[in-house]
Amino acid sequence: MQKTLILAFLAATAITAGCARETPVSAAAPDQPAASEEQGTGTGAGTASAPPPARATTVDEFDTTSAEERAAAKAPPEPEESGASDLGTTIASLGDPTEPGFWLETPLVPEVRQGRIEYQGESVKVELRPSGGASGSGSRISLPAMRLIGAGLTDLPEIAVFGL
């Protein structure tokens, strides 16, 4: 009886392990459409970057932003951005790594708009997206933005959010 239970457990484990290898959970769907300009404003923030390859496994493979896009996101605020509105602070966790670009999903905005986030002296232009969460429920940040502010991917940084 015990031998039968052990064999059944091993068979179930092997089947489950085989399924996990065939369907990568963290990879983007191969037929996922490329991001369009309609999703972003074309100002260096948002989703102008291509989605990561379907078989991406490393941070560098998931971060498809170019050096130019990173430089634009890190550029000092323009004079017209000096009147940016302080939207508050939020605790952010890493968002969907298959979603390209510089963005923050947050309950601090009711609609998509351009913004800037700051963390420990680092500042990054991002597309602010409504999360639909309750006020104070926290935010999700894109992988490229998380890297540019210098936070660890498993950290929960408290970031300042500004609307442009």
Instruction: Give residue 66's domain range.
Output: 39-163
In angstroms, the CA 81 to CA 162 distance is: 10
User: Measuring CA to CA, which residue among 50, 76, 55, 54 is closest to residue 144?
Assistant: 50
Q: Which CATH number do you get for residue 100?
A: 2.40.40.10
Q: Residue 80 has what pLDDT?
A: 65
Number of domain units in the chain: 1
13 domain-assigned: no
Q: Supply φ then ψ for residue 83, to 5 degrees.
A: -95, 25
In angstroms, the CA 9 to CA 28 distance is: 31
58 domain-assigned: yes
5 domain-assigned: no
72 domain-assigned: yes
Q: pLDDT tens-digit profile of 88-138?
A: 999 999 999 999 999 999 999 999 999 999 999 999 999 999 999 998 899
In angstroms, the CA 80 to CA 93 distance is: 29
21 domain-assigned: no
In angstroms, the CA 152 to CA 92 distance is: 11
151 domain-assigned: yes
44 domain-assigned: yes
Q: What average pLDDT is seen over the chain?
A: 77
Q: pLDDT tens-digit profile of 20-71?
A: 333 333 333 333 333 333 333 344 465 567 888 889 889 999 998 999 999 9
pLDDT at 148 > cutoff 60: yes
The answer to whether the beta carbons of residues 35 and 47 sit under 8 Å apart is yes
